[in-house]
Structure 1
């Protein structure tokens, strides 16, 4: 009898343990959005949507490791009507992806069923406690994403609010808006306030435009900011922002339907001319100057400018020089002038002879093959591709030898 009682108690304990640790978010069985909205209206709850795709690793982690935790399951089941959509395969998922502007995965959206507008949103996977905190914020009409947007539009500008608003925008992947708010806030701070750990932290996290007042302040007072963060950190941030701004103009596509921003192009050129002492400025200017010929389809001018740029030695690294040449030789391949293309091919041979960098040689052979294909020299292009592969292999061999020497000497 005692054994029987013991076995029954053991079975009950095991069953309780399994059930206690087996709760998960209860996602609606239906994939019909209208039915989900109707249920949420009736229950007076927000709709929580897990926007996922079949190939998204973090999405799978959320589903298996986070949504199955008891605390998460209990909170979301009590407070929201929960649904999930494959944004590429489910019919209503594709519709909602467009409706809510979902661009990255996972995106976790909280929707007001009355207006079918986003109340709150976070992009990317979160830990259990972070997800619950975001759910609490979603329920807070004043402090969720929509509420903070309304407060900002109404003119609220306290430092505490703006810092919280930036964090909420960043979590929602609202990059353009968070950059705008960050610059607006930082513009109200003195140089001394910018040169604090908190001030630099906001600049480093949110400000991307090298023409913005905060980044101009950093550039002008670099030596002072080096006391807040290291020289490497400060200079890397400035260089990265300049490179991105230059790249956006250089990579402009006339078929994009967006007009080229000539005013910004001129402003960036003027700024880089004024800071030509900084490492990224000469390279940026070289790219912007040359891109002008590409936009005008002036291929004669393009080749001349490329030769002029290399004559002035405007590159501080082999990598930046290689990218410049590869980008502009690709642009040159759009020319229909056979004599000009042949001139470009001959110049590539001279450039290849003048460098000992095998990676540079390989990229030059890649560009040479591109031009050879354009003039119909398929045999020559095939030979150039073989040389490209040989240079790549030789470069890898040299790198391996260097690594071996380092290991032997350590």
Structure 2
């Protein structure tokens, strides 16, 4: 949870689109030739392990690699080369490429120095490049510095900024617990007046436990205007929206009626933030109240009928302005909370929502992604089984099975086959 929350905060912006001529000049050749060129020019090597079908690879190619600052830094210090993993499978295995994109910084003998997985932001990519050149310390070097001087807040800040990536890369090695202690020590050591900067805002919002009256988050809320003076509005607002809405949902699910107090803050000490939350139909407080009451009914009182009624009213009133993700979220929450044991009325309503989801996804000639269509057919099949409409359920599951075959994912195939076998036995 810590990793996911923190990464969302610091990967929210991927730079601006600029001319390709100003960005990275990729070497037109293979890795061996790139290594030779790097040796002759006394440079390092930067390798973008990518695939033509990879969405995040395209994001990097259009929004990060063309950036002038990125280009100036990389072109001066690296020979940069792109490797299509579908064409260079042996190289992908050699460098343990398991996800795309994977960006590997190498010395000119081909030894990996450091790497980044995923669509890194401009800031993240520059930081890793500077680690590769030795301009910035690596995480392990920072950790050793911390062990020598445990009260150095600058080192702690750098560790906390880098740690989510390390936790993700080194799962199961106890790093999350170690970093949590660093955060607690950091917040005890650093003077509060020195926390009014963008990096510490991100650290506080990334590491703070989601709980009522969290002292660190309360510090941020009490200094919202100060942060807004030194940071772009959305960089402050989006994490605050995410934290507050998640806290409201958490309290509502736990049947803690203090979720209503958190909602009221949207018109109180957090008004400067929530006033920018535009909804086609509802005020911020009305919107948060609907969601809070719905989740309180579903999880706090096991009352799926009230949840369905509240959400259905919301979807009906919002009309064409409902987002695809909202349908998925509302349906998935209902199925998770009830473990798929829907009433007939709830199943019928979910089928209505699913049809609206499909219509919205195909609006203006757009097509839903295969994974979304798979979810649509599988969930439709589950609802139809509840309603004992077995023939229609088989048709829906068959569509889902065909999509699972196209995905090549054996787990999805087994999941649907199990459902088909179960209804064939009836």
TM-score (norm 2): 0.47
Higher relative contact order (CA 8 A, sep 6+): 2
Larger Cα Rg: Structure 1 or Structure 2? 1
